[in-house]
A and B are shown apart, each in its own frame.
Chain A
């Protein structure tokens, strides 16, 4: 089954083969994303961005992807200006929007909003983050960053570091990496560990998962260090937060014992988890990762809207 006309609500909507197809197509999109080639893959297409929650990076990278490929978009970026404020259900808003454009990209504060939108819409819906739930295009660009650096995902030793409990991106990333046979090392403060049900799913998939808290030990064996934000509001005690956040800070000293090819990824924005001095090291891949959001979304939109990505 091709991707044309399909919804993308969770990363589980995609088979391993389909993820590979998107990653391959993303590589072909890089010159268009860099602006060294001009594209018309989405010419004549109109995409609706319905953002009911603030987001800069995701919204702009989708808009950039659409416009660089010759498509057009209309955007709801301020939920307070929309009819939702007047009490219209998401269901009705999406039903209406689906009659306007060719696809809908949705960001919404409630978990499950993506699935509901897909039910309400007769055009493809791409979930660009629903509450603490799913954000599949983020997972795809995380995978793209690893794949670009190593040429493969299977067998990679990936450390997931920081808030593994609430971090939206981490759960679907862990699932996707397990699908590709990567090895996962979990490292988090005790109160922010990976939820048991997700751990169980990984075990059921036969994934190789271990835990390690010693940061120097972690860094020594890793291929990828995926750092997430530790949010202050998760802690009752400010001093406790400082202690935990401090112990998960990545700086040049921590990276001194790393493999030369280790890459550091972060979904951004960072708030002190990675020392800016790391930016100048060959390990820093998080800005490249953020850039890859554009070609990945180009590939995704082309495949969903036109069935091809050339």
Chain B
């Protein structure tokens, strides 16, 4: 007589080499995938996404695992903006080699475009858009050029 097997936790297969982005606020993993640029990665690599997973820290969270890829600092900064609670683990040979929280630097260059259409950084000037962090919780950044404050980042990712 065998009853139903006890519910198990995550069923995402471990990856050999790559990056695990954990503690993404539930619902934001698709945006994280956009930032990572899943269409650009190695076609033989697997990308797995877990949506709406129980989390002690957040209640509910999403997880993204990408094989054979490590994130550029620019991508990490973009993730830090939309999901400041996220953690990034670098996996090498099935082992977590490095694990850290995404860390928002004081200045963010080239990640966001200024939402002010009349800002000089949106004209044809040879400069990258640049923001300084005005507040960290919740994150608010300020354009170093026109001083417009931004607290919604998704529509403005460069």
Contact = CB atoms under 8 A, between A and B. Distances in A.
B40 to A, nearest CB: 30
Among B118, B120, B126, B148: residue with most chain A CB under 10 A: B120
A111 B145 contact: yes
B116 A111 contact: yes
A91 B125 CA distance: 7
Nearest to B123: A110
B127 A131 contact: no
A129 interface: no
A213 B17 CA distance: 65
A40 to B, nearest CB: 36
B147 A116 contact: no
Given A111-B146, A133-B146, A133-B147, A116 B127 contact: yes
Contacts of A108: 120
A165 interface: no
Interface residues of B, number: 18
Nearest to B144: A115
B139 interface: no
A132 interface: yes
B149 A112 contact: no
Contact of B119 (A87, A90, A112): A112
Contacts of B118: 109-111, 131-132
B37 to A, nearest CB: 28
Interface residues of A, number: 21
A197 interface: yes
A97 to B, nearest CB: 15
A197 B134 CA distance: 11
A112 to B, nearest CB: 3
Nearest to A132: B118
A133 B148 CA distance: 9
Contacts of A116: 120-121, 125, 127, 145
Given A90-B125, A119-B127, A113 B120 contact: yes
A110 B119 contact: yes
Interface in B131-158: 143-149
Interface string A194-209: 0001000000000000
B124 interface: yes
A110 B120 contact: yes
A30 B100 CA distance: 60
Interface string B86-121: 000000000000000000000000000010101111
A91 B127 contact: yes
A112 B121 CA distance: 7
Interface string A105-135: 0001111110110010000000000111110
A109 B117 CA distance: 12
Given A10-B147, A133-B146, A134-B147, A111 B127 contact: no
A279 B148 CA distance: 37
A89 interface: yes
27 contacts: A10-B147, A87-B124, A89-B123, A89-B124, A90-B125, A91-B125, A91-B126, A91-B127, A92-B126, A109-B118, A110-B118, A111-B116, A111-B118, A111-B119, A111-B120, A111-B147, A112-B121, A112-B144, A113-B120, A115-B144, A116-B121, A116-B125, A116-B127, A130-B120, A133-B146, A133-B147, A134-B147
Interface of A: 10, 87, 89-92, 108-113, 115-116, 119, 130-134, 197
Cβ-closest 9 pairs across A and B = A112-B145, A111-B146, A112-B146, A112-B120, A110-B120, A113-B120, A115-B145, A197-B149, A116-B120
